[in-house]
């Protein structure tokens, strides 16, 4: 396509939920939930999302590979009987733009965005992963703009229960990312409230990462010569992040 002009405006209430529950001698559960996602592949792209309403997006995955302890008549509890893995991913507002040379992507929020991803795995070995993002813009460098005067509540929680295992929880209020090479210009303004929380619990390795605002421009990798020489070329980032909120 030569041009893509996408616009979404929400003034009401939006509720999106995904729930996955797996149980057995081995168990695997995955849940993913997205509130609004714009995707464009054109030479000219103008993407716009405006929210003044209330939106709630939740993803919850539970994997249980446990059985009773004791005898059939005197069970005393539960214990792991096999491996378990759980993954939960939640995104409230998203924009993806590929291949454009002109245009822009913008998100404006004056309402309330609630995003939560919860993953629980219980087994002999257990692995849990949870990722929650309030607003995500990913472009093949185009100008990106995010303005928040409302409230973002973002939670990622991963819980792994077993003899061995790992848990990873990542929560981001706003994430702007560019790829494909070239200078990226980002303008981020927050005068509202952003509450971002990550929790991870595991018997082995537990990683919890929470960030309010993150903007990146991916490097470009080239390989030439015999044997090939790999060069990683950093890409420029322009713009500003202005925070007068919390």
DSSP per position, 165-221: EEEEEEEEEEEEEE-SSS-EEEEEEE-SEEEEEEEEE-SSEEEEEEEEEEEEE--EE
Question: Is the pTM above the cut of 0.75?
Answer: yes
Token match 């952003």: residue? 194
The pLDDT score that the predictor gives to residue 76 is: 40
Mean pLDDT of the chain: 93
Buried b (16+ CB within 10 A) or exposed e, 58-85: bbbbbbbbbeeeeeeeeeeeeebbbbbb
DSSP per position, 57-103: EEEEEEEE-EEEEE-SSSEEEEEE-S-EEEEEEEEEEEEEEES-SEE
- Give tens-digit pLDDT for 52-102: 999 999 999 999 999 765 444 443 446 788 999 999 999 999 999 999 989
Instruction: Please give the average pLDDT of every successive group of 10 residues along the chain, which has 246 residues.
Output: 92 97 95 97 96 97 81 52 96 95 96 98 96 97 96 98 96 96 95 98 98 95 88 93 95
The pLDDT score that the predictor gives to residue 227 is: 87
């Amino acid at each position: 396509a030569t041009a893509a002009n996408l616009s979404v405006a929400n003034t009401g209430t939006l509720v999106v939920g995904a729930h996955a529950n797996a149980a057995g001698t081995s168990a695997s559960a995955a849940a993913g939930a997205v509130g609004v996602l714009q995707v464009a592949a054109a030479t000219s792209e103008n993407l716009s999302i405006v929210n003044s309403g209330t939106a709630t997006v939740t993803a919850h995955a539970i994997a249980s590979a446990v059985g009773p302890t004791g005898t059939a008549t005197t069970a005393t509890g539960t214990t792991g009987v096999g491996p378990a893995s759980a993954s939960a991913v939640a995104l409230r507002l998203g924009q993806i733009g590929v291949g454009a040379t002109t245009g822009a992507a913008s998100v404006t929020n004056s309402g309330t965005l609630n995003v939560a991803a919860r993953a629980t795995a219980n087994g002999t070995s257990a692995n849990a992963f949870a990722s929650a993002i309030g607003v995500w813009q990913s472009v093949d460098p185009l100008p990106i703009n995010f303005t928040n005067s409302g409230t973002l509540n973002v939670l990622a929680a991963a819980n792994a229960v077993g003899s061995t295992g790992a848990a990873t929880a990542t929560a981001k209020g706003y994430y702007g990312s560019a790829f494909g090479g070239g200078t990226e210009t980002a303008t981020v303004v927050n005068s509202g409230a952003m509450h971002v929380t990550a929790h991870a619990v595991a018997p082995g390795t537990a990683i919890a990462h929470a960030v309010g605002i993150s903007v990146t421009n991916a490097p470009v990798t080239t390989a030439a010569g015999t044997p090939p020489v790999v060069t990683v070329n950093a890409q420029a980032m322009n713009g500003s992040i202005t925070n007068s909120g919390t």
